[in-house]
Amino acid sequence: MTATYFTEDHEWVRVENGIATVGITDHAQDQLGDLVFVQLPDVGQSLSKGDPAVVVESVKAASDVYAPVDGEVTEVNAAAASDPALVNSSATGDGWLWKMKLSDTDQLTGLLDEAGYKAIIG
Amino acid sequence: MGTHENLESEDLKPLPLEDLHKAANARFGGFAGWSMPITYPLGVMKEHLHTRENAGLFDISHMQLFDVAGAEAAALLSRACPLDAELLSAGQSKYTFFLNEQAGILDDLIITRLGPDRFMVVANAGNAAADEAHLRDVAKAFDCKVDALDRVFLAIQGPQAADVLRKAGIAGTELAFMHGFEPKPGWFMSRSGYTGEDGFEIGLPEADARALAEKLLSDARVAWIGLAARDSLRLEAGLCLHGHDITPETDPVDAGLTWAITKPVREKAGFIGAKALAEKIATGPKRKRVGLKPDGRQPVRSDSVLLDINGNTIGIVTSGGFGPSVGYPVAMGYVGKDFAPVGSQVFTEVRGNRIALHVHQLPFTPHGYHKG
C-alpha cells in the first residue's frame, strides 16, 4: 500500500512497505528556480526528523531539505545529482532525492496529507 | 526546506512599471530598497541564455541618473572622480568612481558628456542617496547644479539588441560602445550595459517607457529578464557588483580597476583620494581581485573564506553562483598576490566539505561589445 504525505517545509514523502521516498514539492522547485547542484546523503546514514539531509542549490542560493521522519538512508537518486534540472522538471517523480527505512511509522501521523499541504501553499 | 538567502521585504519601493512586470508574472524580491523582478516564468537559466543569444529587456529603474550642469560641471566631476572630465568629448562615456580620501570605492559610475557644460552620471541603486549627498557636498565649491532625475531606466542587452532597436525605429544604434546622447527631451541613451553583451541603456519618462517596452517586447527576439539573470550575466562577464566585489574598504588597485584611471589623471592628482591612491599604486596591491572556478559542480557563494593547501586564510569570495553560459559554477573574489596568477589552486569549505577552486581569467565569457 502506498501513501503520500507532505511537510510544512515543502517535502513529499511516499511510503511503501516501510520505505519512504522523499523529494521536494513542485511548489518548492518552482519557488527555488533552476537548480544547479544537489548534494545527497550517504547510503546507510541515520537521519533524525528535522536533520538537513540534502542540499539543493539554485543559481542564486542554497537550501536544505530536511528529513521528514527518523530513519536510515537506503538509496539516493544519483540521477538528480548528475542532472539537477531533473528536480525542476519532475519534482514528484524522477526527481526524487532519497529513500529511507522508517524507524517509527507513528511519526507519519504528524505529517500533512495533500489537502493539508495545499491549504498551506494557498 | 529552508533557504540560506537574505531577502529584504520591508518598505520596498515599487518600480514605476511594476504593473507590466506583474502582468508578465514576474517573481519579486527586495534589492537596495526596491521591489525588483527577480525572475520571470522563463526562469533564470533561460533568461540568461536568451540574453546571450537574442535580446534581454531589463528594468533597471532602481539605478539613479544625475544631471550635472554648469560652467564648472567638468571641474566638479574631475574633483569628485578620478577623471579628467574636460578631456571627454561630447557623447563619450567613461567608467569611473567616487572614492573616499583613503581611495576606497564609494561607488562605481558611468559618466557621459552631453555637451560643453553638461554630464549624465549613472549610479548604483544601493548608493543613490549617499552618492547624491556626496556629489552635492563636493559641488558646493563649484559653479554647477546637480539634479537627481526621475526616470524609468531600461536596458536592452544581447547580440540582437541593436537590430531590435533599429527595427523599432529607435535612433542611437549608430553609437559605439561607451557613448551616449539625448535622443529627445527627457531621454538619455548610451551603448553600455552590465551583461558583457552589446546593448543599450535608455533613461526616459514613464509614459514613453511604457510605449517603448511594449514596442520592444512585440519583437519575438525580446524577453523581460530579471535581476537574478542580470547578476549571473555580469558575474560571467567579470563585472563588479558594488557592495560585494568593490566596497569603501577596497580600492581600485586591489580591485584591478586602475585601467579606468589614466596616468595623467593620477599625476595631476586633483581628485578626492588621489594621495592615497598614489601610495597604493607605489606599494602595489596586497591582494588581487580574480575570477575563481570551483573544480566540481558545487557553487561557492559570496563570503566563503579562501584557504591555501595548509588551511591558512588567503582570501575571500565576493560573488559566487552558477554560470549558465559556461555551464559550471563561477565566482569572483580577492586572494593574496601569490595566488593571483591564473591556474593557482585555492580551497574553501562549504558545509564542512573542502572544495578546490582554480583562479580563472576574467571574463568567463568573452565580451560582445560593439567597439564601432
Delimit the domains of chain B by residue range. 13-61+151-236, 66-145+251-284, 286-372
Q: What is the mean pLDDT of chain B?
A: 96
Which residues of chain A does B351 touch, with a Cβ-Cβ cutoff of 8 Å?
39, 55
Which residues of chain A does B322 touch, with a Cβ-Cβ cutoff of 8 Å?
36-37, 57, 59
- Residue partners of B315: CB distance under 8 A and separation at least 6: B287, B305, B306, B333, B334, B335, B336, B339, B346
pLDDT score of B178 = 98
Which residues of chain A does B321 touch, with a Cβ-Cβ cutoff of 8 Å?
59-60
pLDDT over 80 (residue B4): no
Write out the H or E segment, with its range, that includes residue B215: helix B206-217
Every domain of chain A and the residues it spans: 2-121
pLDDT score of B3 = 67
Q: Going by DSSP bridges, is the β-strand pair B145-148/B93-99 parallel, antiparallel, or unpaired?
A: unpaired
Give yes or no for a contact between B226 and B44, defined as CB atoms under 8 angstroms apart. yes
pLDDT score of B9 = 61
Supply B269's cell numbers.
592628482
Rounded to a whole number of angstroms, the distance from the CA of B272 to the nearest CA of chain A is 36
CA B149 from chain centre, in angstroms, equals 19
pLDDT digits over B200-250, tens only?
999 999 999 999 999 999 999 999 999 999 999 999 999 999 999 999 999
Give yes or no for a contact between B107 and B66, defined as CB atoms under 8 angstroms apart. no
Secondary structure (3-state) at A46: strand
What's the length of chain A? 122
Give yes or no for a contact between A107 and A69, defined as CB atoms under 8 angstroms apart. yes
**What is the mean predicted confidence (pLDDT) over B105-109?**
98
What is the dotted CATH code of the domain comprising B286-372?
2.40.30.110
Rounded to a whole number of angstroms, the distance from the CA of A9 to the nearest CA of chain B is 5
> Would you identify the CATH topology of the domain A2-121?
OB fold (Dihydrolipoamide Acetyltransferase, E2P) (2.40.50)
Pick the CATH number of B13-61+151-236 from 3.30.1360.120, 3.20.20.140, 1.10.3720.10, 3.40.640.10: 3.30.1360.120
Q: Indicate the residue of B3, B297, B322 with minimum beta-carbon distance to A59.
A: B322
Alpha carbons B359 and B69: distance in angstroms, whole number: 44
Pick the CATH number of B66-145+251-284 from 3.30.1130.10, 3.40.50.300, 3.40.50.10210, 3.30.70.1400: 3.30.70.1400
Q: Indicate the residue of B44, B329, B351 with minimum beta-carbon distance to A55.
A: B351
Alpha carbons A119 and A6: distance in angstroms, whole number: 11
Q: Determine contact: A55 vs chain B, CB below 8 A.
A: yes
CB pairs under 8 A between A and B: 64
pTM, two decimals, is: 0.95
pLDDT score of B11 = 87
Amino acid at A89: S
Q: Determine contact: A66 vs chain B, CB below 8 A.
A: yes
Question: What are the Cα distances from residue A64, in Å, to A20, A85, B5?
Answer: 18, 17, 11
